[in-house]
A and B are shown apart, each in its own frame.
Chain A
Amino acid sequence: MPFAEDPAHLSKSRLKSDLVAHNVALPSAASKKAVYVELHLKHIDQKNAADFSSDEEDRADDKKDAEMPVPSCLTDEDLKAMLRKHGVKPGPITASTRVLYERKLHKLLQSDRRERLNEADKAVLYSDSEEEKKQQEKDQDSGSEKQPDPSDQTQKESSQNHVFYPQCFLPSSRLRPCPPRNTESSSNWNSRNALKSSERSQSQCSQIISTSTADHHTGLGSTVLPRSKSTDDSSLSSQYFSITQMVEEMENSSSRSVTDNACEFNGTSVQENWAQSDRPPQEPVKDAFKDILPGSKTTPTGIYVTRRRPIKGAAQRPVQYSYPDSPVSPMTQQRREVERYLVPIHIQILVFIIVACVLYLIYVNVEGSLSYWSYGEDRLLVQAESQDAEADYAQD
């Protein structure tokens, strides 16, 4: 072998895996490294001396094995060490538990491999998009049309990027300084840089918006400002931010033509609708069903089924021939209940009239009799006096 690959320099696990790779019987698990080294020297070095050409392949395989050791070939301690590397604190590895821990390690190794592949893919993606960005920058410099191109480019960028990155639309010439900064910032494809760049661009755009709204002097502008500020605070507000910008763009274009207050109010409602309507498309279909059927369990096939309404007149329910009265509001129901105890109004009025009549008659009679009485009283008085006088005469 060209390199001085003394078996003594290799780790015990590496020796083990080498032996397994060369179909050598492993010694007992508790044996010392020296035993492994001996075996390694015996069998493997002989083989290597024999065929030199396959050395590189073997080494590649050995290296692979060293990187991804087979869980079943590890000793208990090695298995424990590997598990601890992955953040798992295993209990005692006994006969009954060993299999379970080996399986767990296997899963962890597989997930590691997947992560590495994903990272590699992402790196590839980023490199591709970097190249495209450079091309776009060149086009931008050379291109004469500034307004539509930057907006298109930023739109393309936004479509290519994850939704995370800012989507800065450019309504007017005032916002020209935005795109070059934006492209420069977003060319850094690190997630942290992207965060910072998004914040930077958002702050820039917010400044620009503030100037534009101040210029337009619309009531809408004042309402938009606080919203843009509030959205700046949140890191994931790039979507909403872009929508407000977009609508503002519409607003600006429309406000020049129409300056009615009604239009502005419509704009606010439209803006709200746009901001709200953009959310459902962002959240994919999977939430739609959950909103409709919050209580339903998820099914493996993704098919949601609701129980059909039972047919009327089914066997389980008796057929109703007479249906209750038309639905009544609770107020009328209360009134009806109360009225049961009280005397009805008509009867009350009747009674009132009767009593009134009676009283009137009495009054009339009394009045009549009163006048008679008053007249009569004088007579009576006179008669009384005369009688008295007669009485007095009689007595005398």
Chain B
Amino acid sequence: MSSTSQKHKDFVAEPMGEKPVMALAGIGEVLGKRLEDKGFDKAYVVLGQFLVLKKDEELFRDWLKDTCGANVKQQGDCYGCLKEWCDAFL
């Protein structure tokens, strides 16, 4: 299993509250900007989409790719980050 990044660890360590979407692992400035333009300006909105897709990995990855053009690694990082957050706090 690959190791998690510092961003992932920071995100998963506490409730996300009002954190911006760029706080998600795998989402940097460029992708964050694209998501914000689509209306996903906070991390909890992306969480909402993740939950609506019933935490399904394939669907979430597809959605992420369609929405902001994330590559496979970024999709995986974001999915893993959100999944772990849900396991811890939801």
Contacts and interface: CB of A to CB of B under 8 A. Distances in A.
Interface of A: 89-92, 94, 96-97, 99-101, 103-104
Interface of B: 49, 52-54, 56, 58-59, 62-63, 66
A92 B52 contact: yes
Contacts of B52: 91-92, 94, 96-97
Contacts of B54: 89-91
Nearest to B51: A91
Contacts of A97: 52-53, 59, 63
A96 B59 contact: no
A interface majority secondary structure: helix
A64 to B, nearest CB: 28
Given A89-B54, A100-B53, 13 more contacts: A90-B54, A91-B56, A92-B52, A96-B49, A96-B63, A97-B52, A97-B59, A97-B63, A100-B62, A100-B63, A101-B59, A104-B58, A104-B59
Contacts of A104: 58-59
Nearest to B61: A100
Nearest to A96: B49
Nearest to A88: B56
A100 B62 CA distance: 7
A91 B59 CA distance: 11
Nearest to B38: A96
A97 B59 CA distance: 9
A31 B69 CA distance: 36
A94 B49 CA distance: 10
B56 to A, nearest CB: 8
B19 to A, nearest CB: 21
Contacts of B59: 97, 100-101, 104
A101 B60 CA distance: 11
A91 to B, nearest CB: 4
15 contacts: A89-B54, A91-B52, A91-B53, A91-B54, A94-B52, A96-B52, A97-B52, A97-B53, A97-B59, A97-B63, A99-B66, A101-B59, A103-B62, A104-B58, A104-B59
B55 to A, nearest CB: 9
A99 B65 CA distance: 13
B33 to A, nearest CB: 19
Nearest to B58: A104
A367 B72 CA distance: 103
A96 B46 CA distance: 12
